[in-house]
Amino acid sequence: QVQLVQSGAEVKKPGASVKVSCKASGYTFTRYDINWVRQAAGQGLEWMGWMNPNSGNTGYKQKFQDRVTMTRDTSINTAYMELASLTSEDTAVYFCATASSGLYSAFDIWGQGTMVTVSS
Amino acid sequence: DIQMTQSPPSLSASAGDRVTITCRASQSVSRYLNWYQQRPGKAPNLLIYGASSLERGVPSRFSGSGSGTEFTLTITGLQPEDVATYYCQQTYSSPQTFGQGTKVEIK
């Protein structure tokens, strides 16, 4: 079935970087943009940016522009989100998601989420 | 950025009740408004796209309406499994933005 499977939980120190993976299966990976959304504990959802797996083109929310990088490896149908210069405010669950129907860009497929904890 | 404001922040209703959640946009988003359900510890699940279209597999007790700046999500006949937080999302302009969520509980 169509699914996105993310890498496991990470614990990082302030100032470090984290790289989260999102492996697609059940559909043609290069067909739909991969988006990243994060959620701090008890908080709402925050969109971070998108990547086109076919071209590698990206678009980032301005807040993350200077320290986020979204990439992909089409040989293994996997997208990556790397966030640098981590602070405690980056402690959150990070989701990848895609809009496979293309209708109103609604995210109909989500990964299970990856918990990233930033602590000294 | 377009601000999305949901009301109420939380509500408690009895099983079988009709529940309505409102989402207001700071400027028009046409019909580029989607609704998600998120149960604790889980990823969000798409319920409604394009303001009023029901996602495949979603129970028909869920419905959406609105356009422009004001939207509603209605649950007609609340069920115990509907206990969750509900989010609206606008995809009309970048950056796309979410409402702050409405937590629904059963009395």
- Chain A residue whose CA is closest to B100: A44
Per-residue pLDDT of B23-34, as tens digits, reads 999 999 999 999
Contact (CB<8Å) A107/B87: no
CA dihedral A60, A62, A66, A71 (to 10 degrees): 0
User: Given pLDDT bands bounded at 50, 70 and 90, which one contains residue B12?
Assistant: very high
Per-residue pLDDT of A89-110, as tens digits, reads 999 999 999 999 888 999 999 9
Residues 6+ apart with CB under 8 A from A91: A40, A41, A116, A117, A118, A119
Per-residue pLDDT of A60-84, as tens digits, reads 999 999 999 999 999 999 999 999 9
Which of A22, A39, A107 would you mutate first to test chain B, the one with the most B CBs within 10 A? Answer: A107
CA distance A80 to chain B (A): 18
